Amino acid sequence: MYHLTALVTLLALAFYFFTCINVSRSRTRTGVKVPAMSGHPDFERAFRIQMNTLEWMPIFLPSLWLFAIYISDAIAAGIGAVWIVGRIVYFIGYSQAAAKRGPGFAIQAIAAIALWAGALWAAVSRVV
């Protein structure tokens, strides 16, 4: 069973939902009306945080699950938790200033790449 990976998946989705709510709150706070996608730097940063999280989900989630299936539920969940921490660090940094997004981006990118590379290695080693 993959209970830990399922929990991390649900936490990642909860974080993404939080970023969606944050964009809505930012619209209200900054006065950026729907359907506008720009107009205030605070809103634009909130929107980019949400969209960047969404952009990484198709890389992160399949890699997380394939890693869990081929290698280990617990290790996948641990690396997945690191990915979520990286997204939180990214959120905090980018919310303050665009220049502060780097550390969180690096943490989550390394975690996602580790999951992807591990899953790839495990899949290829079973074919060969």
Contact 89, 104 (CB under 8 A): yes
The pLDDT score that the predictor gives to residue 11 is 98
The pLDDT score that the predictor gives to residue 19 is 98
Domains of the chain are: 3-127 (1.20.120.550)
Per the omega criterion (within 30 degrees of 0), is the bond before 35 cis?
yes
Contact 65, 112 (CB under 8 A): no
Average pLDDT over residues 26-42: 97
pLDDT in tens, 110-124: 999 999 999 999 999
The pLDDT score that the predictor gives to residue 22 is 98
% pLDDT > 90, the chain: 99
Q: What are phi and psi of 64, to 5 degrees?
A: -60, -50
The pLDDT score that the predictor gives to residue 126 is 96
Q: Write the CB contacts of 52 (distance below 8 Å, at least 6 apart in sequence).
A: 90, 105
Alpha-carbon gap, residue 38 to 98, rounded angstroms: 15
The pLDDT score that the predictor gives to residue 99 is 98
Alpha-carbon gap, residue 68 to 13, rounded angstroms: 17
pLDDT in tens, 42-82: 999 999 999 999 999 999 999 999 999 999 999 999 999 99
Average pLDDT over the chain, rounded to an integer: 98
The pLDDT score that the predictor gives to residue 4 is 98
Rounded to two decimals, the pTM is 0.97
